[in-house]
Amino acid sequence: MIARPPLSMLDLESAALGSRWPLTAVLDALPWNDDGLIAAIAQQHDTGEVLMLAWMNRQALAETLERGQVCYWSRSRRQLWRKGESSGHRQRLVEARLDCDGDAVLLLIEQQGPACHTGRPSCFYNAIRDGAVHVISAPQETPA
């Protein structure tokens, strides 16, 4: 048997429609940052609204893919953070996608309750307009 070189993200960039690779090989090829993290964007699957940006390490991504409930890496607490564990505002994974060069993962999710710790539906509630920042959504509930 001839040994194959490890998968590169360039292999995915030039891949034909319908190409497939084992998940482990792709995870090995991801350009995790120096802290072993990748940016994760949570997007409501049915409306397309971008809800939040967080970080995942390999364990958080693997757990998310395995269990279908989103898990992140908390950089401040330096531990796994299972979204909604204390608030009940869970995120159910519908589909995960990698961007073209593998430095971000898009999580198409079903959000239960507000996504933001402020109680707002999305973390992106500060709109930059006409030289000022405008708060464009109110909390749905009082933050914990």
101 annotated to a ligand binding site: yes
130 annotated to a ligand binding site: no
Q: How many CB atoms lie within 10 A of CB 72?
A: 24
71 annotated to a ligand binding site: no
Cβ(136)–Cβ(125) below 8 Å: yes
List CB contacts of 81: < 8 A, sequence separation 6 or more: 54, 60, 71, 72, 73, 74
100 annotated to a ligand binding site: yes
35 annotated to a ligand binding site: no
Annotated binding site: 99-101, 103, 116, 123
Annotated binding site for Zn(2+): 100, 116, 123
Annotated binding site for Mg(2+): 99, 101, 103
